[in-house]
């Protein structure tokens, strides 16, 4: 069994002589995963990502994405069968803001929601 965790935080300020207001953005991204391999032919993974953005004068943007996968190997056939579930908390929209040296960008994305995929991989 293994566990991984990663956190990244950024704070960005921007202002222009042509505009009266300034922009201040705080962003935090957290990623974590638990991997469990009870046998060499069986693997499980549970993962999550949390995105947080705060911009003065706007609502906070908070998103949590979670995924799961299970993989089973059939040695006799040189085959792996894998079940993958992504975004199983069913997040349908994602909004993001970006601030660079001379540009502020706000984007909105429509996501397909939760998905489940079964894969069969084999070696000849």
In whole angstroms, give the CA distance from residue 25 to residue 27: 6
Which pLDDT score is estimated for 124? 81
Could you give the residue ranges of the DSSP H alpha helices within the chain? none
Please say whether the dihedral angle defined by the alpha carbons of residues 5, 26, 94 and 103, taken in this order, is positive or negative.
negative
Q: Is residue 53 one of the residues assigned to a domain? A: yes
Mean pLDDT, the chain, as a whole number?
A: 91
Residue 5 structure tokens = 């965790």
Q: Is residue 19 one of the residues assigned to a domain? A: no
| Domain extent at residue 41 | 2-11+24-122
Q: Is residue 68 one of the residues assigned to a domain? A: yes
Q: Is residue 104 one of the residues assigned to a domain? A: yes
Number of domains in the chain: 1
Which pLDDT score is estimated for 12? 87
- Whether the CB-CB separation of 45 and 15 falls below 8 Å is answered with no
Q: Is residue 91 one of the residues assigned to a domain? A: yes
Model pLDDT for residues 38-82, shown as the tens digit of each residue: 999 999 999 999 999 998 888 999 999 999 999 999 999 999 999
Q: Is residue 18 one of the residues assigned to a domain? A: no
Model pLDDT for residues 77-105, shown as the tens digit of each residue: 999 999 999 998 999 999 998 887 777 88
Q: Is residue 16 one of the residues assigned to a domain? A: no
């Amino acid at each position: 069994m293994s566990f991984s965790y990663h956190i990244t935080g950024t704070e960005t300020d921007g202002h222009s002589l042509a505009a009266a207001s300034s922009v201040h953005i705080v962003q935090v991204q957290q990623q974590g995963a638990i991997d469990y391999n009870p046998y060499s032919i069986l693997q499980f993974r549970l993962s999550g990502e949390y995105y947080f953005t705060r911009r003065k004068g706007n609502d906070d943007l908070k998103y949590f994405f979670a995924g799961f996968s299970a993989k089973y190997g059939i040695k006799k056939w040189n085959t792996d069968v894998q079940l993958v579930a992504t975004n199983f908390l069913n997040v349908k929209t994602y909004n993001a803001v970006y601030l660079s040296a001379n540009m502020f960008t706000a984007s909105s994305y429509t996501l397909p929601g939760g998905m489940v995929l079964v894969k069969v991989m084999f070696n000849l």
